[in-house]
């Protein structure tokens, strides 16, 4: 098994106040390792996105800690957390959040530009990542001209353009047809995963389960078990 | 920054609306204040054209064309003041001219001191000494020249039933405000041809021995019950009158404030909608790892970019319109001064600052997690 990438300890998140308070995540603890693809599976509303956000430095937990590469991220300053998101995490949002007024290449270049790379160099690097996801010829188009599967791949290209240690995908196949979804996850498995990268995928699409190293189940904000142990351990 | 630039500029509709708002506001502000500046400078035309360093006048005079005549003893008294090198009378008044074709035309007449011709205009044709010839008048070739039927030397006309002959054509630096031609003649002829009150001296032009003497001259003239003003003080007095006592100043101020409000509402509203529509994008940028201050910079950059473009367009448009208007109407009284441009600039910066302040507040508040709620 790879090195420990993410350690979530007793994470808690609630929304609302007083009587209206509802727990989205309760007492969630788990580890994720470099070199593996970890699935988080559970019904809609079970807290998967919330959990993902807390380990990605996007949403501050109400309890518990997240250690990434041995660092307690929620003890950092706001700017340092932003840097952490930029440098360590690649997040593929469920609805992509591509910028319709920018070209595909410019979309992919965003994290590089935020890293203060020169605009032209960033575009060159972005085009390389578009090539990796097989969309080089779409570089100059606005993302709305692309199909759902293509947009998903643009979002992946943007998430990996900054070479993050941890790649997080929220329901990457939810709005794709079965075949496209399979191909994308297969692609991630074979081209994006490496020994220095940890990939966490939230899904309830059982057609892609075969690409997981481990599958963690969530229900009602709790982790109720890991139903496939690390194949490397067996 | 460039992301922000692309976000805004690629949203053509919004960007155009923003530009229109700011251009419009800048244009109106420059236009209004330029017209006012033009009026102000023209209202002081006589002062500028005569060019005397110190003027003695009745304290109740508000504008050079409506002079209040002073008795002759004032001239003698001023001449005997210690700091005065010399002092001469000036006549300034209006008359009716009957042209050869029988039409009447109002004119303004300036009578220059017979011995010195102090304050005489620059002649473009004719000899200055011919001003002493019988019935001689010098016509100023300005925008109003045509109203006298483009006279030449020797052209005759009637002025208040006296014969007048053009003996010279002159040029002056500043045209008057009231759209009537200007004639120069001698002081003596002016007061004989033009019916006047018991007193005939409109102004006394004073050449002080040195600039240090001015303060004392002013004091002594004041003790006579009159006022001695330097050229600039006189111009200021006239400007103050137009600004505060004619309602013109307040109108211009109102128009400027209205342009500001209109510009602010168009741009502020559009910019706010732009921010609201893109709030999710800003949230996504935060989630990707943009820091709060980077987004603030981005918004300020967007605001500055549009403000400066709109300001440039507005000032350019005003300059263009004024130039075009001058082509058709040589007399068009408008003048773009640095003060006007500076004022419009401050207003535009204010518009941009207020608009972006609202945007910045929104964007600072958005949490990256909020993008999951859409
Ligand atoms: N911003 C929010 N405000 C209030 N409730 C929220 C918010 N985000 C999520 N929730 C609630 O938290 C629970 C878990 O949501 P989420 O993590 O999105 O679940 P999943 O991704 O597994 O569908 C849900 O009941 C949801 O309604
Ligand atoms: Mg979700």
Q: Give the closest residue to B205 by CA, choosing from B367, B317, B78.
A: B78
- Tens place of pLDDT for every residue, chain A, 234 residues? 689 999 999 999 999 988 889 999 999 999 999 999 999 999 999 999 999 999 999 999 999 999 998 899 999 999 999 999 999 999 999 989 999 889 999 999 999 999 999 989 999 999 999 998 889 999 999 999 999 889 999 999 999 999 999 999 999 988 888 888 898 899 999 999 999 999 999 998 888 899 999 999 999 999 998 876 544 443
Report pLDDT for B42: 85
Alpha-carbon span A204 to A209, nearest angstrom? 9
| Chain A residues in contact with chain B using a Cβ-Cβ cutoff of 8 Å | 49, 53, 58-59, 78-79, 82-87, 89, 91, 93-95, 97, 99, 101-102, 106, 110-111, 113-114, 119, 158, 162
CB B51 within 8 A of CB B260: no
What is the spatial distance between Cα B216 and Cα B82, in angstroms, rounded to a whole number?
A: 9
CA angle, B98 then B103 then B106, to 5°: 60
* DSSP H or E segment with residue A156: helix A148-161
Count of CB atoms situated within 10 Å of the CB of A202: 25
Ligand 2 centre distance from Cα of residue A213 (Å): 21
Three-state SS for A218?
strand
Closest-CA residue of B relative to A161 is B288
Give the whole-number percent of chain B exceeding pLDDT 90: 40
B21-65 pLDDT per residue, tens? 899 889 988 888 888 888 888 888 888 888 889 999 999 998 888
Which of the pair, B341 or A228, is modelled with greater confidence? B341
Give me A79's structure tokens: 């700017």
Show residues of chain A in contact with B295, CB under 8 Å: none
Q: Could you state, in order of their start, the residue ranges of all structural domains in chain B?
A: 2-42+247-373, 71-225
d(CA B57, CA B218): 11
Q: Are strands A222-228 and A166-170 parallel, antiparallel or unpaired?
A: unpaired
Average pLDDT over chain B, rounded to an integer: 88
Question: Is A222 in contact with A28 (CB distance < 8 Å)?
Answer: yes
Question: In this predicted structure, what is the pLDDT of residue B168?
Answer: 93
Q: Which of B223, B176, B217 is nearest to B54 (CA)?
A: B217
Q: What is the pLDDT of residue B235?
A: 92
Expressed in angstroms and rounded, the spacing between residue A51 Cα and the centre of ligand 1 is 10
Name which of A41-55, B7-21, B231-245, B257-271 the model is least confident about: B7-21
Helix (H, G, I), strand (E, B) or coil at B328: helix
Per-state percent for chain A, helix, strand, coil, to nearest 5: 40, 30, 35
Q: Whose alpha carbon is nearest atom 1 of ligand 1? A: B373
pLDDT at B77: 92
Q: In this predicted structure, what is the pLDDT of residue A232?
A: 46
Whether the complex's predicted ipTM is more than 0.95 is answered with no
As to burial, measured by CB atoms within 10 angstroms (0-12 exposed, 13-18 middle, 19+ buried), residue B332 is middle
Beta-carbon contacts below 8 Å between A and B:
73
Give yes or no for a contact between A149 and A176, defined as CB atoms under 8 angstroms apart. Answer: yes
pTM above 0.80, yes or no: no
pLDDT at B227: 94
Place of tokens 């448009």: B317
Max Cα–Cα distance, chain B, nearest Å: 95
What is the predicted pLDDT for the residue at B2?
Answer: 66
Is pLDDT of B374 > 60? Answer: no
Q: To the nearest whole angstrom, how far is the Cα of A84 from the nearest Cα of chain B? A: 7
pLDDT in tens, B199-210: 989 999 999 998
Residue B372 has pLDDT above 90, yes or no: no
DSSP states along B61-112: --STTS---B-HHHHHHHHTSTTEEEEEEEEEEEEEEE-TTS-EEEEEEEEE
Residue whose CA lies nearest to ligand 1 atom number 16: A47
- Residue entry with tokens 């009150």: B197
């Amino acid at each position: 098994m790879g090195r420990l990438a993410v350690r979530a300890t007793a994470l808690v998140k609630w929304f609302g106040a007083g009587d209206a308070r509802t727990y989205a995540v309760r007492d969630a603890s788990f580890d994720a390792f470099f070199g593996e693809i970890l699935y988080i599976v559970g019904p809609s509303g079970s807290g998967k996105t919330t959990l993902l956000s807390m380990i990605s430095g996007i949403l501050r937990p109400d309890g518990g800690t997240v250690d990434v590469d041995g660092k307690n991220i929620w003890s950092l300053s706001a700017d340092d957390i932003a840097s952490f998101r930029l440098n360590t995490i690649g997040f593929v949002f469920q609805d992509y959040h591509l910028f319709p007024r920018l070209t595909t290449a410019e979309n992919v270049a965003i994290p590089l530009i935020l890293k203060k790379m020169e605009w032209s160099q960033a575009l060159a690097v972005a085009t390389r990542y578009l090539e990796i996801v097989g969309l080089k010829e779409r570089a100059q188009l606005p993302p709305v001209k692309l199909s759902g599967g293509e947009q998903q791949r643009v979002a992946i290209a943007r998430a990996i353009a900054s070479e993050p240690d941890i790649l997080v995908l929220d329901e990457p196949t939810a709005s794709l047809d079965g075949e496209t979804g399979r191909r994308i996850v297969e692609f991630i498995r074979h081209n994006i995963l490496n020994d220095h990268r940890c990939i966490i995928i939230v899904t309830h699409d059982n057609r892609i389960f075969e690409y997981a190293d481990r599958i963690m189940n969530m229900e009602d904000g709790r982790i109720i078990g890991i139903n496939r142990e690390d194949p490397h351990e067996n | 920054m460039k992301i922000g630039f692309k976000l805004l500029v690629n949203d053509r509709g919004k960007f155009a609306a923003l530009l229109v708002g700011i251009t419009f506001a800048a244009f109106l502000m420059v236009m209004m204040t330029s017209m006012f500046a033009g009026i102000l400078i023209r209202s002081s035309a006589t002062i500028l054209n005569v060019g005397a360093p110190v003027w003695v006048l009745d304290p109740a005079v508000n504008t050079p064309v409506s002079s209040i005549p002073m008795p002759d003893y004032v001239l003698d008294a001023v001449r005997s003041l210690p700091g005065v090198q010399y002092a001469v009378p000036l006549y300034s008044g209006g008359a009716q001219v009957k042209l050869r074709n029988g039409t009447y035309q109002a004119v303004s007449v300036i009578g220059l001191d017979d011995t010195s011709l102090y304050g005489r205009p620059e002649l473009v044709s004719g000899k200055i000494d011919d001003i002493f010839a019988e019935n001689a008048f010098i016509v100023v070739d300005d925008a109003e020249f045509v109203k006298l039927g483009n006279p030449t030397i020797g052209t005759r006309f009637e002025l208040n039933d006296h014969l007048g002959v053009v003996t010279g054509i002159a040029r002056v630096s500043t045209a008057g405000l009231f759209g009537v031609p200007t004639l120069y003649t001698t002081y003596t002829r002016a007061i004989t041809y033009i019916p006047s009150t018991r007193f005939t001296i409109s102004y006394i032009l004073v050449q002080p021995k040195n600039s240090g003497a001015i303060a004392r001259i002013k004091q002594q003239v004041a003790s006579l019950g009159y006022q001695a003003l330097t050229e600039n003080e006189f111009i200021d007095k006239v400007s103050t009158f137009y600004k505060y006592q004619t309602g013109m100043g307040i109108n211009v101020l109102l128009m400027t404030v209205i342009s500001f409000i209109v510009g602010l509402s168009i741009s502020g509203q559009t910019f706010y909608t732009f921010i609201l529509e893109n709030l999710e994008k800003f949230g996504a940028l935060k989630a990707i790892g943009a820091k709060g201050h980077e987004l603030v910079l981005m918004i300020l950059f967007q605001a500055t970019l549009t403000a400066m473009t709109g300001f440039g367009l507005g000032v350019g448009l005003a300059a263009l319109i004024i130039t075009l208007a001058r082509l058709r109407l040589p007399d068009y009284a408008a003048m773009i001064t640095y003060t006007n441009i500076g004022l419009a600039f401050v207003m535009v910066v204010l518009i941009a600052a207020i608009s972006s302040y609202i945007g910045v507040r929104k964007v600072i508040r958005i949490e990256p997690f909020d993008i999951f709620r859409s």
